[in-house]
């Protein structure tokens, strides 16, 4: 498994990561099988959030699963989404950040978090206050590096400027949606991330499953799939424009004896700004498929052709 750096942090992670949003929904035995296979296959980057698994379930399961092997992984988690029903809480304020970090450390049964990420912007809290809190956590040894998620390009630039001006630790990563079917990050965000020597961590790299090849145009999604369970995802991704792109991409991959999933990973990993493709898994076999997909290195001409196929007017 190849490794890439998380921005300027010096932290190296596997090019394929494991998204742990399903943990806490899966029973712990299932989650353990997925983590075990990931480690066997050379995946060492595990990404979760305090809210995953029903407000704490994912972190709690990981804390149990990683007993005795915490040093084998680079562990990322997030704060800032609602862990209670208080709609007015400032979840990037210093006091909240400190308390959230301690709660995550307790659930994860660890003394440190490798990458601690602001999950979503908090318009009620000045960015300087958030950065100061994260800087304090880094200096205390409880966090190794800080990242953000869902910040717009201008927010990335503003945060970097504040960090420089105030002598604070800067965000080293940005986690945002990016895939062959959702390329909006290319308009401005990726440029901002690259200009600040940060790394992009794409979420929904498989467009919530549409790029796995398990769905067909006009067919009802199986009930045991994300599209079958959650109509908001099927409504968002399953449209005629996306189906046309998916069918062309599938033909491109098959002409090279590859799958659509292989192409989804290989195309993302052709982008130098990416540190790791974080994909969720509910079964060990999905880990195997993700790792195999990452081995395909597209040529520059192939990247250009895939860019053309997946471009939207």
Give catalytic residues, as residue numbers. 52
CA proximity to 78, closest of 92, 63, 65: 92
Q: Please state, in angstroms and rounded to a whole number, the distance separating the CA atoms of residues 204 and 19.
A: 10
SS3 for 227?
Answer: helix
How far the first Cα of the chain sits from its last, in Å, is 36
Q: Please state, in angstroms and rounded to a whole number, the distance separating the CA atoms of residues 19 and 23.
A: 9
| Chain mean position to CA 10 | 19
In this structure, the chain runs to a length of 313
Concatenating the DSSP letter of every residue in 268-305 gives HHTSTTB--EEEE-SSHHHHHHHHHHTT----HHHHHH
Q: Would you state the structure tokens that stand for residue 284, as one six-digit string? A: 């060990």
**Residue 81 and residue 118 in contact, taking contact as beta carbons nearer than 8 Å:** no
Concatenating the DSSP letter of every residue in 87-134 gives TT--TTSHHHHHHHHHHHHHHHT-S-EEEEEE-S--TTS-HHHHHHHH
**Residue 264 and residue 211 in contact, taking contact as beta carbons nearer than 8 Å:** yes
Residues in contact with 207: Cβ distance below 8 Å, sequence separation at least 6, in sequence order: 179, 180, 181, 182, 237, 242, 264
């Amino acid at each position: 498994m190849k490794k890439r750096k998380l921005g300027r942090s010096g932290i190296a992670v596997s090019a394929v990561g494991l998204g742990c949003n399903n943990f806490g929904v899966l029973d712990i035995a299932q989650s353990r099988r997925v983590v075990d296979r990931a480690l066997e296959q050379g995946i060492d980057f595990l990404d979760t959030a305090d809210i995953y698994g029903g407000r704490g379930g994912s972190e709690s399961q990981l804390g149990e699963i990683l007993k005795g092997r915490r040093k084998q992984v680079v562990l990322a988690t997030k704060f800032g989404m609602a862990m209670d029903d208080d709609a007015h809480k400032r979840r990037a304020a210093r006091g909240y950040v400190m308390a959230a970090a301690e709660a995550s450390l307790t659930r994860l049964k660890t003394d440190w978090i490798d990458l601690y990420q602001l999950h979503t912007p908090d318009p009620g809290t000045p960015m300087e206050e958030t950065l100061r809190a994260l800087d304090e956590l880094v200096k205390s040894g409880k966090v190794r590096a800080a990242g953000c998620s869902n910040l717009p390009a201008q927010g990335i630039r503003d945060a970097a400027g504040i960090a420089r001006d105030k002598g604070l630790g800067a965000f080293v990563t940005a986690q945002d949606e990016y895939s062959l079917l959702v390329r909006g990050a290319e308009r401005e965000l990726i440029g901002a991330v690259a200009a600040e020597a940060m790394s992009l961590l794409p979420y929904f790299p498989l467009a919530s499953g549409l790029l796995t090849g398990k769905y067909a145009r006009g067919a009802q999604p199986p009930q045991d799939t994300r599209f079958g369970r959650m109509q908001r995802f099927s409504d968002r991704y399953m449209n005629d424009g996306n189906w046309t792109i998916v069918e062309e991409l599938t033909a491109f991959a098959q002409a090279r004896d590859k799958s659509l999933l292989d192409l989804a990973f290989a195309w993302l990993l052709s982008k130098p700004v990416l540190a790791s493709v974080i994909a969720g898994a509910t079964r060990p076999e999905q880990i195997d498929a993700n790792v195999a997909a990452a081995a395909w290195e597209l040529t520059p001409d192939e990247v250009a052709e895939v860019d053309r196929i997946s471009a939207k007017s």
